[in-house]
Amino acid sequence: MPEYLILKLDGVMQSWGEHTYEDFRPTLHFPGRSALLGLLGACLGLDRRAVAEQQALAAGVRFLVRADGDPTRPEPTLLVDFHTVMDARAVGGKVRANPVVSRREYLCDCTFTVVVDAAPELLDRLENALKRPYYTPFLGRRSCPPSRPLLESRVVAADAVEALAGVPPCCGQLYSDEDLPGSLPLRVRDEPLLVRHRQFASRQVYVSTQDLEEGDVSEQD
């Protein structure tokens, strides 16, 4: 049977950037694909300019994310902070003459469990990198350090959903790269366009709730 890496993203604050433009920096309610690829890339020590290596990583991994907690209340607590920003860009790309207020969202006191699905050779590299990161990992922003090591375990399971079964709390909202029974599609813009700096494509994420102790995957009401 295949093997999977289990990550725990646990911190006082997390911020997983959604589509934005300077003034307002919202966060997704879960770590998106671009953020997870960046997190793994940082642990591996990939340079921002190493496009071929980043493309190989992106092509080689799939993710299943669980927002740990009560599946009937999947939305985490949001904190909104503000910053004054000099030389902010307008929508047309020009630099603004005056400072602007930039509001930024953070998720507070939440934990995500992430299943990383990849070929055995890549899993070996990722496991070693997560144990000894090349660059310091953070949870979306440099002001959001993890409160524990990222790597939880390496498990053998029939599929990614089963890989979560032995990882408490065994319930929560699931966000999957692949369609799950009873899931609903969610359109997000978090697929990095690695040949274009800081630009992203849209993709489908499949969302469902699951009580793994009961083995049930059901559609969120």
Q: Is residue 7 part of a domain?
A: yes
Tell me the pLDDT band of 131, cut-offs 50, 70 and 90: very high
Cα-based torsion angle of the residue sequence 185, 187, 188, 192 in order, rounded to the nearest 10 degrees: 100
φ, ψ for residue 159, nearest 5 deg: -155, 180
Q: Is residue 133 part of a domain?
A: yes
How many domains does one find in the chain?
1
> Range of 154's domain?
3-76+109-192+208-218
Q: Is residue 200 part of a domain?
A: no
What is the pLDDT of the chain when averaged over all its residues? 85
In this predicted structure, what is the pLDDT of residue 72?
A: 57
Q: Is residue 52 part of a domain?
A: yes
Q: How far apart are CA 91 and CA 185, in angstroms?
A: 29
Q: Is residue 72 part of a domain?
A: yes
pLDDT of 157-187, one tens digit each? 999 999 988 898 878 889 998 888 888 888 8
Q: How far apart are CA 133 and CA 45, in angstroms?
A: 7
Q: Is residue 20 scored above 70 in pLDDT?
A: no
Whichever domain contains 183, its CATH number is: 3.30.70.2660
- Integer angstrom CA distances of residue 11 from 26, 135, 148: 18, 18, 8
Q: What is the pTM of this model?
A: 0.83
Q: Is residue 88 part of a domain?
A: no
Q: Is residue 221 scored above 50 in pLDDT?
A: no
Q: Is residue 141 scored above 80 in pLDDT?
A: yes
- Give helix 33-44 / helix 120-131 axis angle, nearest 10°: 70
Q: Is residue 212 part of a domain?
A: yes
pLDDT of 83-117, one tens digit each? 787 887 776 778 888 888 888 899 998 899 999 99
Q: Is residue 180 part of a domain?
A: yes
